Amino acid sequence: MNRKQLKNIEWSILICTVILITIGSFALYSATLASDLEDLKKQLIWVVVSIPVLILVMIIDYKAIAKISVVYYLISIILLVAVLLTSAINGATSWFNIGGVSIQPAEFAKIAVVLFLANVMSKMSKKEINKPLKLVMLVGIVLLPVLLIVLQPDYGTAMAYIIAAVVMLYVAGINKRYIIVSFLLLGIGIPMLYFFVLPEHAKLRIDVYLNPYLDPRGAGYNIIQSKLAIGAGRLVGQGWLNGTQTHLGFLYPKTTDFIFAVIGEEMGFVACAVIIILFITLITRAINVAKTAKDDLGSYIAAGIVGILIFHVLENIGMTMGLLPITGVPLPFISYGGSSMLTNIIGIGLLLNISARRQKSIFD
C-alpha cells in the first residue's frame, strides 16, 4: 500500500471502531465479573486475532478478494448445511464447537454473500440488473443462505442478509416498480408468515414486543428488565460496576443481546448517546466510501457492509429499549461474540481497502 492510498483511507471509520471496542470491553468487564471475566478474556483474544486479519484484508486489493468470492460463497453454503447437523444450543443449530471455541458460520457467510453478490452485480449493466431473470438470479444468491439460516432457526441474522441485499440493489439502481412490488408483497406476506409459518416461540416474541406484560415472568421478562436497567441509568448512570439489574442477575443475556442495557444502566444516557453518535459517524463515513469508490464493485461491497451495520445497530438498540422485537442480534464491536467480532472487523477492513483505492483523496 503506497503513500497516496494511505492518505485516501477513511481513518475515521477505524477510529470509531477502536472506540466502540474499548467501550464494549469496559461493559463486558462489568457484565462478566461474576464469571471470572471469562467472556471478556475470550473477546479480547478475538480482538487480537482480528488485528492481522484487518491488516491483510486492508492491504490486498479488494478486486483480488472479490475475484474468488464464489469460493467463499460455496464454502459458506457447505458450512451452513453442515451446522444444521450439529447439536442445538439454546434451541438453535447455529454453532460449531471446536475445542471449546464456538464458531457461527452464519456470521462469516455475511461477508461471503456480500462479496459474491457484489462481484456478480458489478459484471452487469444497470439495465441488466433490472431484467427479471437477472434479478431473480441475484435474489436467489441471497435467498439460499437465508433459507439455511432460517432453518437453524436464526431469523435476526437472516434479516441482516436481506437488508444488505436491499441496500446493494438500491445502490445499483433497481427500478422503483420492484421496490413498490416488494413492499406490497411484504404487506401481504408478513401477516401470512405470522399466522401460518412462524413457530410459536417466534409469534410469542412478536406478541411480547407489542405488550411485554402479557408474560412478565416469562417471554416478556428480559425486555422488561432491559428497559428498567436503561431507565435506572438516567443521565450519567449508576456508576461503572454498580448496575443493580446487571449485578443482581436480573438482566439476561447481559453480555450479548442486552449489553447496551448494561451500558445504559451503569454509564447512563451520555454513554448511550456517545455510542449512537459513533455508529452514525461510522455508517455515514461508510456510505461516503460507497459513494466515492472508484468502481461499481467497491460501491456494492461498501453498500452491503453498510446494510449489515445499519440493521444490527438499529435492531439491537431498538430491542433493548422495547422498540423492536427481540431477535438475538449482537451490537457490533460491543456485544460478546468472536464470530461477530471477526466478521465486523473484516467488514471494516474492506471499507478501509475500498477507501484507500479511490481515485482521489476526499481531503484534496
Which pLDDT score is estimated for 200?
78
Residue entry with cell 464458531: 103
361 domain-assigned: no
Q: 38: domain range?
A: 3-356
CA 337 to chain centre: 11
- In the predicted model, is pLDDT for residue 198 greater than 80? no
Could you tell me the end-to-end alpha-carbon distance of the chain, in angstroms, rounded to an integer? Answer: 19
Which pLDDT score is estimated for 34?
79
Give the SS3 label for residue 68: coil
Q: Are 88 and 95 in contact (CB under 8 A)?
A: no
Which pLDDT score is estimated for 362?
38
DSSP 340-361: HHHHHHHHHHHHHHHHHT-SS-
**How many Å apart are CA 190 and CA 350, to the nearest integer?**
34
Which pLDDT score is estimated for 82?
96
- In the predicted model, is pLDDT for residue 197 greater than 80? no
Report residue 243's pLDDT band, with 50, 70 and 90 as the boundaries: very high
Residue entry with cell 468470492: 69
364 domain-assigned: no
Dump pLDDT digits (tens) for 213-241.
888 888 789 999 999 999 999 999 999 99
Dump pLDDT digits (tens) for 37-56.
999 999 999 999 999 999 99
Which pLDDT score is estimated for 24?
96
DSSP state of 193: I
- In the predicted model, is pLDDT for residue 336 greater than 60? yes
Q: Are 283 and 309 in contact (CB under 8 A)?
A: yes
Which pLDDT score is estimated for 188?
87
Q: Are 296 and 303 in contact (CB under 8 A)?
A: no
DSSP state of 10: -
φ/ψ bin of 324: left (φ > 0), alpha (ψ from -120 to 50), beta (otherwise): beta
Helices (H) and strands (E) in the chain, counts: 16, 2
Which pLDDT score is estimated for 363?
36
DSSP state of 123: T
Q: Are 324 and 244 in contact (CB under 8 A)?
A: no
Amino acid 1 reads: M
Number of domains forming the structure of the chain = 1
**215 CB-near residues (< 8 Å, 6+ apart):** 204, 208, 221
Dump pLDDT digits (tens) for 142-169.
999 999 999 998 989 999 999 999 999 9
**How many Å apart are CA 311 and CA 350, to the nearest integer?**
18
362 domain-assigned: no
Q: For the chain, what percent of residues have pLDDT higher than 70?
A: 98
Check residues 193 and 267 and name the one with the higher pLDDT. 267
Torsion sign, CA atoms 251, 253, 259, 261: negative
Dump pLDDT digits (tens) for 69-109.
999 999 999 999 999 999 888 788 999 988 878 899 999 99
Q: Which of 18-32, 195-209, 294-308, 333-347 has the lowest mean pLDDT?
A: 195-209
Cα–Cα distances in angstroms (integers) from residue 192 to residues 149, 186, 327, in the given order = 20, 10, 19
258 domain-assigned: yes
- In the predicted model, is pLDDT for residue 118 greater than 60? yes
- In the predicted model, is pLDDT for residue 290 greater than 70? yes
Exposed e or buried b per residue across 91-119, where buried means at least 16 C-beta atoms within 10 angstroms of its C-beta: ebbbbeeeeeeebbbbbbbbbbbbbbbbb
Which pLDDT score is estimated for 1?
72
363 domain-assigned: no
Which pLDDT score is estimated for 249?
86
Cα–Cα distances in angstroms (integers) from residue 317 to residues 1, 90, 108, 246, 309, in the given order = 37, 22, 22, 17, 12
**How many Å apart are CA 157 and CA 328, to the nearest integer?**
8
DSSP 282-319: HHHHHHHHHHH-SSHHHHHHHHHHHHHHHHHHHHHHHH
